Structure 1
Amino acid sequence: MAATDFKDYYAILGVNKTASADEIKKAYRKLARQYHPDMNPGDKSAEARFKEVSEAYEVLSDSDKRQKYDQFGQYWKQAGSGGWPSGAGTDFGGFDFSQYGSFDDFINELLGRFGGAPAGGGRRTYSYRPGGSSPFGGFGGFQDASGFDDSMSAGTDLESTLSLTLSEAFRGVQKRLNLGGEVIDVRIPPGAKPKSRIRVKGKGQASPYTQQRGDLYLNVEIQSHPFFKFEGDNLVCEVPIAPDEAVLGGSIEVPTPDGNVTMNIPAGIRSGQTLRLRGKGWSKPKGDCGDQLVRIVIVAPPELSATEREYYEKIRSSRTFDPRSNLKRVSL
C-alpha cells in the first residue's frame, strides 16, 4: 500500500502516542470547537477537518480500536519500507492486516462502515445534522444511523417556558422548578423582558455516554397587565385626561413600576401624543431604569352636571377655533 494511505490520528489530534484517554478527549474537544461547521459556516475545509478530527477521536477513544490502529501502524511502516512481500500474511496478535488493500479499507471495517463487520458495535454511516446538540451550546453535529452523535459528549440542552408577573420580572424573583422530579431554585434577575432567554448551566439532559449535562434555557413570558404594556423595549401606558386639562394644561399623577409620580401636561396637548418619563421605565441589568412612555388620551365626560353643561355651551357659543377648518380644502 502507498505510504500516503496511512493517517496519523495522534498527529491529527496533536497528542503523543502515549497520551491518556483524558488528554485525547481534551484535544478532541478543543479541535472540534475550532472546526465545527456551525462555527465555520460554508467553510468546506473546516468541515473536512472536523470529520477528520471526529474520526481520529472515535478510533483513539476506544481502547480496542486504538490497539488495532497502533498494530496496523506497525504493519504499515514495515510493509511500506519493503519489509514483507506483497500479499504475505502478517499477524499482529492474531490480526492479519495484509487482507486490506489500503488504510481506508482497514478503517472502514474497524468503524463498521460500508457494510463491513463492526469491531464490537453497530454499523455507522455519518451525515451532518445542522442545529443538533453539542458540547458547545447548540451547534450541529455528525450523527450516525445508530443515533450516536460525536458532539453529544456534554449532553443535550433543554428549553422550557417560564411565566412571570410584571412585578416578578421588574424586581427579579427566585423560582422553584420541578425538572422531571428534580427540584431546582432559579434566580431570575431584575429586568427580564418578553422573549428573554435565561441560561441555567448544567441542568439540561445528561449524555448517555459521559453523563455530563447540557444547559437549561428558560424562555420568559410576561403575563399581561391592565395598565403597563411593552412595545419593543419600551414600557408604555395610556393616561386619560379631561378636555379642560388638554386645553389649559396642568399636573397629573401617573403610575410607574416604582409608584406614582407627578407629570406636567402642556397646554394644547393632542389626544394620542406621547410624553416621556425619564428613568421611570423598565429595570436594566446595571441597576438603573429606562424611560416610561405615556400616551395621552383626551376623554369627554360621560355625564355633565347642569353647571358643566352651561359652561360648555358658553364655550361653544364663543369659541373662535375651528378644528376642521382644513377640511374645507379636501376634495377628490
Structure 2
Amino acid sequence: MAATGFKDYYAVLGVSRTAGVDEIKQSFRKLARKYHPDVNPGDKNAEARFKEVSEAYEVLSDPDKRKKYDQFGQYWQQAERAGAGAGYGTPGDFGGFDFSNYGSFDEFINELLGRFGGGAAGGPRARTTYPYGAPSGFGGPGAGFDPTTASQSFDQEANINLSFSEAFHGTQKRLRIGNNEVEVRIPPGAKQGSKVRLKGKGQMNPYSKQRGDVYLVVQLAAHALFKLEGDNLVCDLPITPDEAVLGGKIDVPTPDGPVTMNLPAGIKSGQTLRLRGKGWPSPKGNRGDLLVTVVITPPTNLSDDLRQLYEKIRALRSDSPRQALTNTRL
C-alpha cells in the first residue's frame, strides 16, 4: 500500500486523537456546513472536501470503526510490508486485526464502511447516506445520518427520468444495469423522489454471495401547465374580465382531457376551484383532485370597438375596489 493512501481523519476534522464524541460531532457539523455543495455550487474542491469530511466523521463517530481505524493508522507501514512479504491474504498480527488482506488503505476503508465497488459507468452506484443531504455525484439523496448503519447496504440507487405523462399513466422502460438489460415497469402515480425496487439487481455481497437490490429514484420532469402537490394537481387558468364578472361555463384542461366547469359570477383572480377526482393517481387506484386557480387576464390587443366598450364601462362604473384602502396609513 502506498504511503499516500493513508488519510489522517483526525487532521481532516481538525481534532486531536483523544477528542471525544461531542468534539468530533461539533467539528464535523462546522466543516460540513462550510463545504456543503449547496453552499458551494459548482465547486468540485468543496464537494470533494465535503465527501472527505463526511467519511472521516462516519469512521470516527463510531467506536468500533474508530478503534479499527486507529489500529490501521498505527500499523499501516507494517501492514504494507506484511502484505508484500507474506503474500496477499496471509494474516498479519497487528493487535488482533488482520491488515494484510488489504491491498490499499481505500480497500480497508471500503470494507470498514461497507462499500464494495460501483456499477458500470452511467449505471447505479452504491448507496451512501450523508447527514446534510448527498452532494451531487455521490450516491442518492441524503436520508439522514446514522453512523451505526450508514453505507452498510449492498443496495444501489440510480435516477430514472420520467415525463409527467409517463409518471401519471405508468410506463415500461428497458434499462442497462451493469452488463444486464432489464425491463422495468413503473406503476401509475409515481412521484418525484419515489423509489421503484428491482430485487436482486444490486451489488454482490462478498460474504453471503447474494445480491442487494437496486432502487430507481424517480426524477419527474416539469410540466408546462400542471404541478403536483401531494395527490392533487394544481394549475393556473387564465380567464377574461367579462368571464370573471358574468361567470358562466368554461372548458378546463385535465389529465383526461377538457371538462366543462361552472365559473361563478364575480370570481376574483387567485381564487381556486376544485375538480374532484381529476388529480394524481395513488398506488391504490384512487385519484386526487385538480385545483384550478383562476387568473384574470386582460386582453392585450384591443380593437377599437372593444376599447370603446371598456371606456363606456369605466364611465358607468360608480364604485371602486380600492375604496376601503383610501385612509390606510403606517
State the TM-score, normalizing by the size of structure 2: 0.56
For the residue of structure 1 that corresponds to 2:200, the secondary structure is coil
Change (3 A) 1:325 1:132: farther
Q: Distance in 1 between matches of 2:304 and 2:179?
A: 68
Find the structure with the greater CA-based Rg.
Answer: 1
**1:315 aligned onto 2:316:** no
State the shift of 1:162 in Å.
Answer: 0.4
Change (3 A) 1:195 1:121: closer
Give me the whole-angstrom Cα distance separating, in 2, the residues matched to 1:313 and 1:324: 19
1:285 Cα deviation from its structure 2 partner: 1.1
What is the CA distance between 1:250 and its match in structure 2? Answer: 0.9
Aligned pair in 2 of structure 1 residues 327, 210: CA closer, same or farther (>3 Å)? same
1:169-318 matches, cutoff 5 A? 169-318=167-316
Q: What residue identity is the alignment partner of 2:232?
A: N
Q: How many Å apart are 1:318 and its aligned residue?
A: 0.9
Contact 2:231 2:282 (8 Å CA) reproduced: no
Letter in 1 for 2:290: Q
Q: 1:131 to 1:205 in 2, by over 3 A?
A: closer
Q: CA deviation at 1:178?
A: 0.4
Return the offset for 1:139: 11
Q: Deviations over 1:138-164 (max 9, x none)?
A: 899xxxxxxxxxx9xx97110000000
Instruction: Supply the distance in 2 between the matched residues of 1:121 and 1:205 (Cα, whole angstroms).
Output: 21
SS for the counterpart of 1:329 is coil
In the alignment, the residues of structure 2 paired with residue 174 and residue 199 of structure 1 have an alpha-carbon distance, to the nearest angstrom, of 14
Secondary structure at 1:259 match in 2: coil
The one-letter code sitting in structure 1 at the alignment partner of 2:168 is F
1:115 maps to a residue whose letter is G
Provide structure 2 residue ranges, at least 5 long, that are not aligned to the other structure: 1-62, 65-90, 103-107, 117-126, 130-148
Say if 2:158 is the partner of 1:160: yes
Q: Are the structure 2 counterparts of residues 200 and 240 from structure 1 closer, same or farther at C-alpha, using a change threshold of 3 Å? A: same
Counterparts in 2 of 1:234 and 1:174: CA distance versus 1, 3 Å = same
TM-score, normalised with respect to structure 1: 0.56
Q: Is the 8 A contact 2:231 2:281 kept in 1?
A: no
Query: How many Å separate the matches in 2 of 1:160 and 1:199?
Result: 11
What's the % identity of the aligned pairs?
A: 55
Q: How far 1:206 sits from its partner (Å)?
A: 1.0
Is the contact between residue 231 and residue 287 of structure 2 (CA under 8 Å) also seen in structure 1? Answer: no
Shift of 1:286: 1.4
* 1:258 positional shift: 1.0
Query: Could you say if the C-alpha distance between residues 129 and 305 of structure 1 is closer, same or farther in structure 2, counting changes exceeding 3 Å?
Result: same
Could you tell me how far 1:181 is from its partner in structure 2? Answer: 1.9
1:107-126 alignment runs, 5 A limit: 115-116=95-96
Segments of 5+ residues of structure 1 without an aligned counterpart are 1-46, 49-110, 141-150
What is the identity, as a one-letter code, of the residue corresponding to 1:228?
F
C-alpha distance in 2 between matches for 1:322 and 1:302: 23
